[in-house]
Amino acid sequence: MMLAYQNIRPLFLLVFIAFFTNCQKPIATQNGTVSDVKTHDAGMPAWLKEKIAAFEKDKPANPPVKIYSYQYQNQQVYFITGRCCDIPSEVYSVEGQQLCQPDGGYTGRGDGKCADFFTNRSEEKLIWEDLRK
């Protein structure tokens, strides 16, 4: 039994190392924010780039702002996390139209326009994250 464990251990270590060395690392920008170059530039709408530029000019939020891409109701949407306390998160269409606020606000349940967002979203991709301290 001990012999089998000793043979698996190096294999596990090799798989572990291979997994973490293949992860794409984010690149730091001049102002201290971090962008994933692969997704940051690839097909990102101009209105979203403007929002990111505005976030980068503001003081860092707590918790930090993150932007995700999802499939929701048969379309690609962008989800911007809430920045503090009762500030609602926001969901936008590819065209930049705000569709809803799925959480946050006084009740914590957002505006009620997409109450099923968290259960029906799919294909999550982190687009941008503010890693300033």
Cβ contact 67:83 at 8 Å? no
Sheet holding 34-35, edge to edge: 27-28, 34-35, 122-129, 66-72, 75-80, 90-93, 98-100
Mean pLDDT value across residues 101-105: 94
* pTM above threshold 0.75: no
* Distance separating alpha carbons of residues 48 and 32, to the nearest angstrom: 19
What does the DSSP 8-state code read for residue 44?
A: -
Residue-wise pLDDT tens digits, 10-20: 544 433 334 33
Q: Calculate the CA 37 to chain-centre distance.
A: 14
Amino acid at residue number 62 = N
Residue-wise pLDDT tens digits, 36-84: 333 445 689 999 999 999 999 999 999 999 999 999 999 999 999 998 8
pLDDT of residue 15: 38
How many percent of the chain have pLDDT more than 90? 59
* Distance separating alpha carbons of residues 41 and 79, to the nearest angstrom: 17
